[in-house]
Chain A
Amino acid sequence: MNEQLITHGADWTIKHLFVYPNEFIYWGLTIVMYPYMTGLVAGAFVLSSLYHVFGQDDLKDLAKFALVFSLALLPVAMMPLMLHLQQPFRGIHVMFTPHFTSAIAAFGIVFSTYAMIVLSEIWFVYRKYFVEQVHALKDSDSRVLRMKRLVYVVLSLGAFDLSDEAIAKDKKAVTILAAIGIPVACFLHGYAGFIFGSVKANALWMSPLMPVIFIMSAIVSGIALCMLTYIIIMEWKKFSTTLARGRGDDSVKIIAGVELDVIKKATRYLIGFLIAAITLELLDLIFRGYTAMKSWDILREVMYKEDFFKIFILQYGFGNLLPFLMLMIPGAKIKRTAIALALILFGVFMMRWNVVIGGQAFSLSFAGFMDYDVPFIPHHLELYKEGILGALTVAATPFCLFYIINKFVPSLKRS
């Protein structure tokens, strides 16, 4: 078979027993990454809103970081979709000719609404800083600093008013935007769940609980990623301060104290959402078993036999139960929390995997199974896009973007 005639899916699908000839795992790793990344975006935003709307002052430092990080994650939510499309250059058709009976058609609208909210909220939060920078860099000599000032002039959009009245208006705008942002963020992700939950042909996906399950696990993963990134950055700061000033210096202790404090407070919210997510997932599972519709025979086969390890050991065991215990047992320090957070992120990833790939692990004929052999070595472009390397590209991008954005919008400065 030459390069031109690749049957999409044939490279990574292994069929057992009777599967229809056209059935392959069409939605692979990229589509696992898609709800995962969108979930992180939504979760990061909800975390930042906990401070901005509900006045949870203990989350202030983390909230600022989470908001900017959700901006870095935003373009990445679209990346796996673009990698997945067979005709990526036509992706824009979703915006131009949306067909509104399709769940995916809402993507353009929900996504851009959400992007506008995040961008404008960040602008209102940092406007004061932009203007201050414009003034501070006024008389600088170096070309780089002059360029930097120009960037800040553009970023301030010409609104240089720093009177108390103007600042108060900024704050009000942030609160309003964050408040609108929560339902939009939930909608953004809930509708990702709807994309799956509304596929009536797929016995595993079809469930009205799907959007809610997706929202809960999204918030869990978003908070966990923000906390973990925060820990890594603070540890790095601690390390560099230790190198500069020695281990016993007061500033090192202050950093460590603040870090632990923030993380402890955020953990409470994380555990709350984690419990909600697990409860809903178990409810879905129990309900399917109890009602035992026609599809239950094959679903049971997939859940308890074919995918048992992935669902019950990796997802529920290592991804939910273990980190839950690690966080609940008193006396959690940074290291233990960090490991628990990484496990939670892994757990949510496995949940996405078990939904997306698990939903295609059985044939529509209910008489056969399909195994997913994740493409690793890219022999051709499609195997890169749909394989582990593509997924790693997607996973690494938000951190690169955050590095650049953070150069102009210092989200890690302590208040």
Chain B
Amino acid sequence: MTISRRNLLKKTLVGTAVAALPALPLGAIKFLSPAEAKAAVSESKTRYAFLVDTNKCVGCGFCVKACKKENDVPYDSPVTRTWVERYLITKDGKSHIDSPKGARDGFTSQLQENQHETVDPKEIDKAFFVPKLCNQCESPACVQVCPVGATYQTNDGVVLIDRTWCIGCGYCIMACPYGVRYFHPKYKVADKCTFCYHRLAKGLKTACVDACSFGARQVCDLKNPEDPATKIILTERVAVLKDEYGTKPHVFYLGLDRNVR
């Protein structure tokens, strides 16, 4: 039995192609109706954003508690979709930062978690709280690095994760400069704040906004100039976190201190 090299290659190629046919992920191909296709590419009339007034935050942690309950994040796990940081800036210029359990139970002691030190109140020049959550960036690094496209940006600006498709590699967690992502202890996939997208879709506010009695948190639509929080963002001096990474974050802060990390 002899076979020419050309024939061998030809037959191998044909054989491989035939064998590979049933492996094609036909289920992954989806045909859209014209209306669906239009909705997918046309620009949305909404761009969700968030406004945090750090001057109003008292560090009660109700937002963290509400978020954990609303979004099925295990209550006793150290991971959380939103958290509050406490900053104590002492006379020597040093900042002492902590966020025990993400401030789920508020700040009940003067003891600095992980530092085992107490800061003398007389030494404190200024002190404040800074709530943190996903920045729903315009150019999200997490979406860029996902190898399977399991995390994506909706056309109204919110970044979401497909729990049925995430492979759990953790690349998005590494890529986020804000540390908002983690592996969900129950679902074993990447997880993060979604601005309570399921609530926004129903016209509700996010769980944390509803839980905040002090009005430190507001969610808004940047494309609606009548939205009170949008008005503030457009007319007052607001800042964002870690501008230098070029991700164009969409959580805006009032009264952001230069010491905030």
Contact = CB atoms under 8 A, between A and B. Distances in A.
B110 interface: no
A275 to B, nearest CB: 31
B134 to A, nearest CB: 11
Nearest to A99: B149
A4 to B, nearest CB: 7
Given A8-B182, A21-B78, 9 more contacts: A7-B79, A15-B114, A18-B99, A19-B114, A87-B189, A102-B171, A103-B145, A103-B147, A367-B261
A161 B173 CA distance: 55
A200 B177 contact: yes
A363 B113 CA distance: 15
Interface size class of B (residues with CB under 8 A): 35 or more
The interface residues of chain A, by DSSP majority, are classed as loop
A55 to B, nearest CB: 24
A200 B245 contact: yes
Given A21-B99, A23-B179, A86-B167, A5 B185 contact: yes
B186 A5 contact: yes
Nearest to B168: A86
Interface residues of A, number: 58
A94 interface: yes
Nearest to B261: A365
Interface stretch (A152-160, A234-242, A247-255, A257-265): A152-160
Q: Most B CB atoms within 10 A — which of A7, A101, A195?
A: A7
Contact of A365 (B3, B168, B179): B179
A22 B149 contact: no
B179 to A, nearest CB: 4
Given A87-B189, A160-B1, A201 B245 contact: yes
A368 to B, nearest CB: 7
Given A18-B114, A201-B245, A365-B97, A104 B171 contact: yes
A201 B148 contact: no
A202 B76 CA distance: 28
Interface in A1-47: 1, 4-10, 15-24, 26-27
Q: Most B CB atoms within 10 A — which of A103, A363, A365?
A: A365
A116 B56 CA distance: 62
A201 B176 contact: yes
B225 interface: no
Contacts of B218: none
Interface string B86-104: 0000000001011101100
B40 interface: no
Contacts of A200: 141, 175, 177, 245-246
Contacts of B178: 20, 364
A45 B157 CA distance: 46
B103 to A, nearest CB: 9
Contacts of B171: 102, 104, 195
A367 B96 CA distance: 9
Given A21-B101, A157-B8, A201-B174, A102 B3 contact: no
B114 A201 contact: no
A81 B170 CA distance: 11
Nearest to A105: B147
B184 to A, nearest CB: 9
Contact of A27 (B102, B143, B167, B174): B174
A102 B114 contact: no
A200 B243 CA distance: 12
B217 interface: no
A320 B77 CA distance: 42
Contact of B79 (A22, A27, A199): A22
Contacts of A91: 167
Contact of A97 (B77, B149, B186, B245): B149
A86 B185 contact: no
Contact of B5 (A10, A16, A169, A198): A169
B166 A87 contact: yes
Interface in A355-373: 363-368
B165 interface: yes
